[in-house]
Structure 1
Amino acid sequence: MTRFAFYCSGHGFGHATRVSAVSLELLRAGHAVTVVTNAPEIPFASILPPTALPAADRDIANPGPKTSPLPQYAEYRRRNIDAGIVQPKAYDVDRQATFDVLDGFLNQRDQTLAEEVAWLKEAGIEAVLSDATFLGCAAAKGAGLPAIIISNFTFDSCYSYLSHPSLPSHEYGVAQPEPPLDHAVLHPLVEQTVADYSSASLLLRLPGVIPIPAFDTDVPMPSGRWVNDERTAFVPEVEAILSRPTDSIPSAADGRTVIDVPLIVRAPSPDANTPAFRAELLESMGVPHHLLSSKVLLVSFGGQAIPRPRTRPPTPLSSPLLRRTMSSQLSSSLSSLEAPQQDERREAGLLPKGWIAIVTGLSGGDNAIRDDLPYGFFASDKDVYVPDLTWIADCVLGKLGYGTCSETLSCRTPFIYVPRPLFVEEFGLKRLMHARGASLELSRVDFEAGRWELHIDEAYELGREAKERARRVGFEDEKAGEAIRSEIERFLARWGQ
Structure 2
Amino acid sequence: MTRFAFYTSGHGFGHATRVSAVSLELLRAGHAVTVVTNAPEIPFASILPSATLPTDVRDVANPGPTAEPLPQYAQYRKRNVDAGIVQPKAYDVDRRATYDVLKRFLDVREQTLEEEVAWLKEAGVEAVLSDATFLGCAAAKAANIPSIIISNFTFDSCYSYLSHPALPSPFPGLDEPEPPLDPSILDPLVEQTVADYACASLLLRLPGVIPIPAFDTDVPMPSGRWVNEERTAFVPEVEALLSRPASSIPSAAAGRPVVDVPLIVRPPSRDANTPAFRHALLTSMGVPEHLIDSKVLLVSFGGQAIPRPRSRPPSPLSTPLQRSDSFFSSGASSLSPPVEQPREVGLLPKGWIAVVTGLSGGNNAIREDLPYGFFASEKDVYVPDLTWIADCVLGKLGYGTCSETLSCKTPFVYVPRPLFVEEFGLKCLMQARGTSLSLDRADFEAGRWELHVEEAYEQGRAAKDEARRTGFVDERAGEVIRREIERFLAD
State TM-score, norm by structure 1. 0.94
Alignment CA distance shift 1:272-1:432 (3 Å): same
Aligned residue for 1:231, secondary structure, equals coil
Alignment CA distance shift 1:195-1:370 (3 Å): same
Offset at 1:325? 4.7
Offset at 1:57? 2.2
Q: Which residue of 2 aligns with 1:403?
A: 400
Offset at 1:342? 8.9
Offset at 1:42? 1.8
Separation (CA, whole Å) in 2 of partners of 1:319 and 1:177: 22
Offset at 1:297? 0.4
Separation (CA, whole Å) in 2 of partners of 1:142 and 1:162: 29
Determine if contact 1:433/1:439 at 8 Å carries over to the other structure.
yes
Determine if contact 1:6/1:128 at 8 Å carries over to the other structure.
yes
Alignment CA distance shift 1:344-1:355 (3 Å): closer
Amino acid at match of 1:30: G
Question: What do residues 52-76 of structure 1 show as CA deviations (whole Å, max 9, x unaligned)?
Answer: 1145523522252111111111111
Offset at 1:343? 12
Q: Which residue of 2 aligns with 1:334?
A: none
Q: Which residue of 2 aligns with 1:305?
A: 303
Larger displacement relative to structure 2 (64-73 or 125-134): 64-73
Q: Which residue of 2 aligns with 1:83?
A: 83
1:463 aligns with 2:460: yes
Q: Which residue of 2 aligns with 1:273?
A: 273
Larger displacement relative to structure 2 (287-296 or 306-315): 306-315
Amino acid at match of 2:479: E
Percent identical across equivalent pairs? 78
Offset at 1:307? 2.3
1:490 aligns with 2:487: yes
Separation (CA, whole Å) in 1 of partners of 2:316 and 2:285: 30
1:412 aligns with 2:409: yes
Amino acid at match of 1:350: L
Determine if contact 2:131/2:149 at 8 Å carries over to the other structure.
yes
1:423 aligns with 2:420: yes
Aligned residue for 2:460, secondary structure, equals helix
Q: Which residue of 1 aligns with 2:363?
A: 366
Offset at 1:323? 3.2
**Pairs within 5 Å for 1:174-323:** 174-301=174-301, 304-314=302-312, 315-321=314-320, 322-323=322-323
Determine if contact 1:2/1:126 at 8 Å carries over to the other structure.
yes
Offset at 1:320? 3.9
Separation (CA, whole Å) in 2 of partners of 1:24 and 1:295: 34
Determine if contact 1:37/1:77 at 8 Å carries over to the other structure.
yes
Separation (CA, whole Å) in 1 of partners of 2:140 and 2:219: 25
Separation (CA, whole Å) in 1 of partners of 2:185 and 2:342: 45
Question: What do residues 426-449 of structure 1 show as CA deviations (whole Å, max 9, x unaligned)?
Answer: 111111000000000000000000
Question: What do residues 97-152 of structure 1 show as CA deviations (whole Å, max 9, x unaligned)?
Answer: 00000001001001111111111111111000000000000000001111100000
Amino acid at match of 2:461: R
Aligned residue for 2:51, secondary structure, equals coil
Separation (CA, whole Å) in 1 of partners of 2:336 and 2:107: 55
Tell me how large the CA RMSD over aligned residues is: 2.0
Offset at 1:305? 1.4
Q: Which residue of 1 aligns with 2:332?
A: none
Q: 2:474 aligns with which of 467, 474, 477?
A: 477
Aligned residue for 2:170, secondary structure, equals helix
Q: Which residue of 1 aligns with 2:128?
A: 128
Q: Which residue of 2 aligns with 1:154?
A: 154
State TM-score, norm by structure 2. 0.95
Determine if contact 1:172/1:444 at 8 Å carries over to the other structure.
no
Q: Which residue of 2 aligns with 1:46?
A: 46
Question: What do residues 383-419 of structure 1 show as CA deviations (whole Å, max 9, x unaligned)?
Answer: 1111110000000000000000000000000000000
Separation (CA, whole Å) in 2 of partners of 1:219 and 1:40: 35
Aligned residue for 1:58, secondary structure, equals helix
Separation (CA, whole Å) in 2 of partners of 1:407 and 1:59: 24
Alignment CA distance shift 1:160-1:465 (3 Å): same
Determine if contact 1:173/1:445 at 8 Å carries over to the other structure.
no
Q: 1:349 aligns with which of 334, 337, 346?
A: 346
Aligned residue for 2:393, secondary structure, equals strand
Offset at 1:220? 0.7
Q: 1:440 aligns with which of 433, 437, 455?
A: 437
Offset at 1:371? 1.9
Larger displacement relative to structure 2 (344-353 or 145-154): 344-353
Alignment CA distance shift 1:188-1:339 (3 Å): closer
Separation (CA, whole Å) in 2 of partners of 1:285 and 1:275: 16
Q: Which residue of 2 aligns with 1:382?
A: 379
Offset at 1:40? 1.3
Alignment CA distance shift 1:95-1:346 (3 Å): farther
Q: Which residue of 1 aligns with 2:21?
A: 21
Alignment CA distance shift 1:343-1:158 (3 Å): farther
Alignment CA distance shift 1:408-1:25 (3 Å): same
Determine if contact 2:319/2:336 at 8 Å carries over to the other structure.
no
Separation (CA, whole Å) in 1 of partners of 2:195 and 2:343: 51
Offset at 1:346? 6.9
Question: What do residues 339-369 of structure 1 show as CA deviations (whole Å, max 9, x unaligned)?
Answer: 9559998742111111111111113123222
Alignment CA distance shift 1:285-1:445 (3 Å): same
Separation (CA, whole Å) in 2 of partners of 1:254 and 1:323: 47
Separation (CA, whole Å) in 2 of partners of 1:327 and 1:165: 24
**Pairs within 5 Å for 1:34-113:** 34-54=34-54, 57-62=57-62, 64-113=64-113
Structure 1's unaligned 5+ residue stretches are: 330-337
Separation (CA, whole Å) in 2 of partners of 1:325 and 1:123: 57
Question: What do residues 278-297 of structure 1 show as CA deviations (whole Å, max 9, x unaligned)?
Answer: 01111111111111111000
Separation (CA, whole Å) in 1 of partners of 2:200 and 2:374: 46
Q: Which residue of 2 aligns with 1:332?
A: none
Alignment CA distance shift 1:293-1:211 (3 Å): same
Amino acid at match of 1:216: D
Amino acid at match of 1:313: S
Alignment CA distance shift 1:342-1:139 (3 Å): farther
Determine if contact 1:4/1:34 at 8 Å carries over to the other structure.
yes
